[in-house]
Amino acid sequence: MDVKMRILYIIASSKMGGAENFVYTLLKFLNSAKFEKYIVCPDGGYYTERFKSLARKALFIDPGRSFMNPGTVLRVSRFIKDNKIDIVHTMLYTSDFCGITAGLLSGRPRVLNTINGFNFLVLKRDKLRLKRRIASLFFRYIYRYSDKLVAVAEAVRQDLINRKGIKTDPRKTVTVLAAGMDKSYHDFQKDDVERLRAGHFKDNALTFQLDTA
């Protein structure tokens, strides 16, 4: 019997969002005959139990604990060792740090990171420009220890390999323009949308259209 490759997804959010839905889709549709799937994510979010239902084993992190916290990184490193993980796939920048560092500490897996944006932190005010630059340099340094970087747009890939300062080796970057989505997933309810609106958007900032038929 063929031995399955063990892949661990790490995402620092289990709330409703695009990155979270992408991980859900990967967990659901990645060939289960070839891959054994694991997940590390915050506890208590919209996707927490949904992730768990699709994974062989899950590690839930206290939602108040950063994925860059040394204790969190050590827990993830032990999880990687205990479950003999072959590949770590991360989503969102603090997850990138956690996955790369835990992978190095465990000495086991290959690590790939999906890069969703080119600023790493949404800091638009001028007085925060220096902080954003420092954060960008920090993560670019960390990405040197990744095996593969998957950019969600060619502009993101070009930024990784061309921005002044610490550059990323273009040989380990790739662009994926379409992540895909589970069209059969209809578990989104009106209350979920209202909760998303209340938590993330101001009045009149976004219009939702629900198919209630």
Q: What residue ranges do the domains of the chain occupy?
A: 5-181
H or E element in which residue 192 lies = helix 190-200
Q: How large is the average pLDDT for residues 19-42? A: 91
- Rounded to the nearest 10°, the torsion over CA 112, 114, 118, 119 is -90
**Location of structure tokens 């239902």:** 53
pTM, to two decimals: 0.78
> Which of 22-31, 142-151, 159-168 is predicted with the least confidence, judged by mean pLDDT?
159-168
Judge whether 32 and 60 are in contact, CB under 8 Å: no
What is the token pair recorded at 47?
A: 């996707």
Q: Please write the tens of the pLDDT for every residue from 58-98.
A: 999 999 999 999 999 999 999 999 999 999 999 988 999 99
What pLDDT does 71 receive? 96
Calpha distance 146→97 (Å, rounded): 10
Number of other residues whose CB lies within 10 A of the CB of residue 39: 26
What pLDDT does 120 receive? 53
What pLDDT does 88 receive? 96
Which of 77, 90, 69 minimizes the C-alpha distance to 23? 90
| 194 band by pLDDT with thresholds 50, 70 and 90 | low
pLDDT over 80 at 48, yes or no: yes
The CATH topology of domain 5-181 is Rossmann fold (3.40.50)
Which of 177, 117, 183, 169 minimizes the C-alpha distance to 141? 169
Half-sphere exposure of 202 (CA within 13 A, CB side): 1
What is the token pair recorded at 57?
A: 């084993």
Which of 58, 95, 97, 100 minimizes the C-alpha distance to 79? 58
Arithmetic mean of pLDDT over the chain: 80
* Identity of residue 42: P
Calpha distance 34→106 (Å, rounded): 23
